[in-house]
């Protein structure tokens, strides 16, 4: 036992725990213990002191010195078990020693953000009526506690009272999302009404919130939210958004007479200048209660789109323009059929109305070369035009069908689409359709980087690509985001699975990687890698399902650190996964003979271990290395390479694993 360990042992044995001792304990005494902690760290005795203090706590569970040293040393080592420091704080809380409690909580925070410590400081400041310090604690707390909603609302109300409306709106927006997750509708409605008061024009935000709420609450509650949003929208005469709100209400409740009457009023205001407005309302039976309201709306919108000068489309005759409407007949000039006359009833069924900036209209009225030049030079305009042409929702397949071969050749599309994908990914004017996540929409208000990455994450089907999106998010943003919380929870969700597969293993490794950077994100599991590994039924096949190289290497590192027979596992996996790390670690462990034996086996059975043999030939190219280290003549390696060249040529000719054999063949030639 070192001199320092003896000193600590004596301090522990001399300590007398009594109520009077506790009341006399001061911050200065803990600061003296901090000097002791520095000595422990300098001499690298953390593990020994933790063991010493843990043994002392077995018979003196309230030892202040032992709890403090164990607690802070555990925090420094980022150990999950923080029970010592928690117990110590609770002792002083029970005795109302708030100055000591504050010191201990701040001591924890020296090692990173911690929910328990921040909650403790909140209690301290509430107890001492130090309201001026609470705001900072609240802001720090909600950054690491994604389930906390009430404090987010408190912050919103605080900033509103201070006159900082932008700050208040930001926190109200964050809190409403959290209250939805907590299924607390009363709070959602209250905050919704507050936001309607502040930002009634931000309809894209409200629609996104309402869509999410509709997945959790019943349709009646969604209708209530939309009814709250309607009055200010209608008051500023934003007829398109007003109509959209009413359509959403009627989708939930088709018998809602108020919404039906209001939508008639909105249509009347929007199309006040239309020459056939009253007639089309009558023909569609929009005001008649017996007619299904959604069918009536569809009918009316088809009719109202027919007016002199408007564009239409016919499956056989293409794009046309309405030249005249007389009673129940309309005249249309089609590209392939001029001056065509048809009844209004037939037109409603046979024609599709088009906006003047619809891609089909542009293709029919502009010379191909002129339109092609515009599309090639302005990706954002081209994408926006095509997406808006189809009810503001289109995927890449649809975009391609509009451009190839009518405007772009297949070759031109290849380079154009590469740039277009980047625009769709990065430009804030584009977003994902929540109903069809592989479709894009054009937004009136720019989309934040957070929301864009989140939408890409939700759209992505591939597990390993989802990891890429979350890593990309953390390289640009802090984890202080409810979007991040939901993405992170996707991976922590795998840790609850009873069946161990590649996704569970990779989620464990990935969550641990992030938790090392942000300890407050640690999921507090009661098991570790050792227990996880014990439940893996077939290591080799599971390992090969991991396509991410970094995760593969992390997996191997974890095996080496936690599994006793790791050399056997490394030797068995090498023929499947060639890595210098595997060979180097085996050599460092003094297993050069087993490595040489592995190499001899691979050289002897090069037909079966083609990838491994080729890797060895590339990475150990010096003739002397083979003879001296592995007992293999270099001539044998060269002869096997020539034979392998012959084998791969034969297999390629016979169309046997042709792609893989071409790869090996090229490798041998090189």
Give pLDDT, residue 349: 86
Summarize the confidence of residues 18-33 as an average pLDDT. 80
Of 178, 123, 191, 180, the residue nearest 149 (C-alpha)? 178
Query: Token pair of 191, please?
Result: 């905050």
- Mean residue pLDDT across the chain: 90
* Residue 307: pLDDT band with limits 50, 70, 90: confident
Give pLDDT, residue 428: 85
Summarize the confidence of residues 137-155 as an average pLDDT. 93
Pair 435, 479: CB distance under 8 Å: no
Q: Is the pLDDT of residue 168 over 90?
A: yes
User: Can you point out the beta strands (E) in 317-397?
Assistant: 318-326, 329-334, 340-343, 352-354
Rounded to an integer, what is the distance from CA 648 to the centroid of its chain?
43
The tens digit of pLDDT for each residue in 527-563 reads 889 999 999 989 999 999 999 999 999 999 999 999 9
Label each residue of 533-586 as H, E or C.
HHCCCCHHHHHHCCCCHHHHHHHHHHHHHHCCCHHHHHHHHCCCCCCHHHHHHH
Give pLDDT, residue 18: 64
State whether the Cα torsion 157-158-163-167 is positive or negative. Answer: negative
Alpha carbons 362 and 375: distance in angstroms, whole number: 11
pTM of the model: 0.77
Give pLDDT, residue 80: 62
Alpha carbons 381 and 387: distance in angstroms, whole number: 10
Any bridge partners for residue 441, and if so which? 431
The tens digit of pLDDT for each residue in 432-476 reads 887 777 899 998 877 788 888 888 888 788 999 999 999 989 988
Q: Is the pLDDT of residue 510 over 90?
A: yes
The tens digit of pLDDT for each residue in 593-628 reads 998 899 889 888 888 888 888 888 888 766 666 777
Alpha carbons 469 and 477: distance in angstroms, whole number: 12
Alpha carbons 176 and 216: distance in angstroms, whole number: 13
User: Can you point out the beta strands (E) in 420-469?
Assistant: 430-432, 440-442
Summarize the confidence of residues 653-665 as an average pLDDT. 81
Of 182, 119, 124, 122, the residue nearest 149 (C-alpha)? 182
What count of Cα atoms within 13 Å lies in the side-chain half-sphere of residue 619?
A: 13
What angle, rounded to 10 degrees, do the helices at 46-57 and 3-14 form? 20
**Is 202 buried (19+), middle (13-18) or exposed (0-12) by CB count in 10 A?**
middle
* Residue 574: pLDDT band with limits 50, 70, 90: very high
Query: Token pair of 91, please?
Result: 């002792």
Give pLDDT, residue 221: 96
Alpha carbons 451 and 200: distance in angstroms, whole number: 20
Q: Which of 88-102, 244-258, 600-614 has the lowest mean pLDDT?
A: 600-614
SS3 81: coil
Give pLDDT, residue 217: 94
Residue bearing the bigger pLDDT, 48 or 328: 48
Which residue is associated with the tokens 């090692």?
111
The tens digit of pLDDT for each residue in 82-91 reads 788 999 999 9
* Residue 256: pLDDT band with limits 50, 70, 90: very high
Q: Is the pLDDT of residue 397 over 90?
A: yes
Q: Is the pLDDT of residue 101 over 90?
A: yes
The tens digit of pLDDT for each residue in 342-392 reads 988 898 889 999 999 999 999 998 999 999 999 999 999 999 999 999 999
Give the Cβ contact number of residue 594 at 10 Å. Answer: 16
Domains parsed from the chain with CATH numbers: 3-144 (no CATH), 172-351 (no CATH), 355-447 (1.10.10), 564-669 (no CATH)
Alpha carbons 497 and 507: distance in angstroms, whole number: 11
* Residue 19: pLDDT band with limits 50, 70, 90: low
Give pLDDT, residue 623: 63
Determine the number of helices (DSSP H) and then strands (DSSP E) in the chain: 38, 7
Pair 453, 230: CB distance under 8 Å: no
Q: Is the pLDDT of residue 399 over 90?
A: yes
Q: Is the pLDDT of residue 20 over 70?
A: no
Pair 379, 328: CB distance under 8 Å: no
- Cβ neighbors of 258 (< 8 A, separation 6 or more) are none
Q: Is the pLDDT of residue 281 over 80?
A: yes
């Amino acid at each position: 036992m070192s001199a320092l360990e003896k000193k600590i042992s004596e301090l522990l044995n001399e300590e007398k725990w009594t109520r009077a001792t506790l009341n006399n304990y001061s911050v200065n005494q803990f600061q003296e213990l901090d000097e002791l902690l520095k000595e422990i760290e300098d001499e690298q005795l953390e593990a020994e002191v933790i063991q010493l203090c843990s043994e002392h706590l077995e018979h003196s569970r309230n030892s202040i010195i032992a709890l403090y040293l164990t607690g802070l040393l555990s925090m420094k080592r980022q150990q999950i078990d923080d029970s010592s420091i928690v117990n110590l704080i609770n002792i002083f809380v029970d005795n109302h020693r708030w100055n000591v409690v504050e010191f201990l909580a701040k001591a924890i925070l020296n090692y990173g953000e911690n929910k328990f410590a921040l909650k403790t400081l909140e209690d301290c400041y509430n107890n001492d009526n130090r309201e001026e310090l609470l705001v900072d604690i609240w802001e720090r707390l909600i950054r690491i506690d994604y389930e906390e909603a009430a404090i987010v609302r408190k912050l919103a109300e605080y900033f509103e009272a201070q006159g900082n409306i932008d700050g208040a709106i930001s926190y109200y927006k964050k809190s409403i999302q959290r209250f939805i997750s907590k299924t607390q509708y009363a709070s959602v409605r209250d905050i919704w009404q507050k936001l309607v008061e502040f930002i009634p024009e931000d309809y894209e935000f409200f629609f996104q919130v309402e869509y999410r709420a509709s997945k959790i609450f019943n349709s009646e509650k969604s209708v209530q939210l939309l009814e709250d949003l309607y009055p200010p929208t209608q008051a500023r005469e934003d007829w398109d958004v007003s109509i959209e709100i009413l359509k959403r209400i009627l989708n939930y409740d088709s018998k809602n007479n108020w919404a039906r009457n209001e939508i008639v009023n909105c249509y009347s205001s929007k199309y006040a200048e239309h020459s056939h407005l009253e007639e089309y309302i009558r023909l569609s039976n929009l005001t008649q209660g017996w007619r299904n309201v959604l069918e009536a709306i569809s009918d009316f919108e088809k009719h109202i789109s027919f007016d002199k000068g408007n564009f239409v489309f016919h499956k056989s005759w293409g794009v046309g323009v309405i030249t005249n409407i007389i009673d129940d007949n309309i005249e249309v000039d089609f590209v392939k059929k001029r001056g065509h006359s048809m009844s209004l009833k037939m037109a409603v069924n046979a024609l599709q109305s088009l906006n003047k900036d619809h891609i089909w209209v542009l293709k029919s009225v502009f010379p191909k070369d002129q339109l092609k030049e515009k599309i090639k030079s302005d990706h954002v305009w081209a994408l926006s035009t095509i997406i808006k042409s189809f009810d503001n929702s289109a995927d890449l397949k649809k975009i391609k069908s509009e451009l190839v071969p009518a405007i772009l050749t297949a070759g031109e599309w290849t380079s154009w689409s590469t740039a277009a994908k980047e625009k769709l990914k990065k430009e804030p004017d584009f977003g994902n359709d929540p109903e069809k996540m592989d479709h894009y929409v054009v937004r009136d208000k720019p989309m934040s980087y957070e929301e864009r990455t989140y939408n890409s994450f939700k759209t992505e089907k591939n597990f390993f690509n989802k990891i890429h999106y979350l890593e990309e998010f953390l390289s640009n943003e802090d984890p202080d985001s409810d979007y991040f919380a939901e993405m992170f929870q996707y991976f922590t969700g795998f840790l609850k699975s009873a069946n161990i597969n590649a996704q569970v293993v990779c989620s464990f490794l990935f969550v641990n990687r992030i938790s090392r950077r942000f300890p407050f994100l640690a999921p507090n599991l009661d098991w570790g890698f050792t227990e996880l590994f014990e439940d893996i039924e077939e290591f080799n096949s599971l390992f090969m399902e991991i396509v991410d190289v970094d995760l593969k290497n992390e997996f191997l590192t974890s095996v080496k650190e936690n599994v006793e027979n790791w050399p056997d596992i490394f030797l068995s996996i090498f023929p499947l996964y060639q890595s210098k790390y595997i060979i180097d670690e085996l050599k460092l462990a003094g297993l050069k003979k087993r490595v040489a034996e592995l190499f001899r086996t691979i050289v002897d059975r090069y037909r079966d271990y083609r990838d491994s043999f080729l890797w060895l030939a590339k990475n150990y190219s010096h003739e002397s290395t083979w003879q001296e280290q592995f007992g293999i003549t270099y001539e044998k390696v060269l002869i096997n390479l020539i034979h392998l060249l012959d084998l791969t040529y034969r297999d390629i000719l016979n169309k046997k694993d042709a792609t893989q054999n071409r790869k090996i063949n090229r490798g041998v030639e090189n």
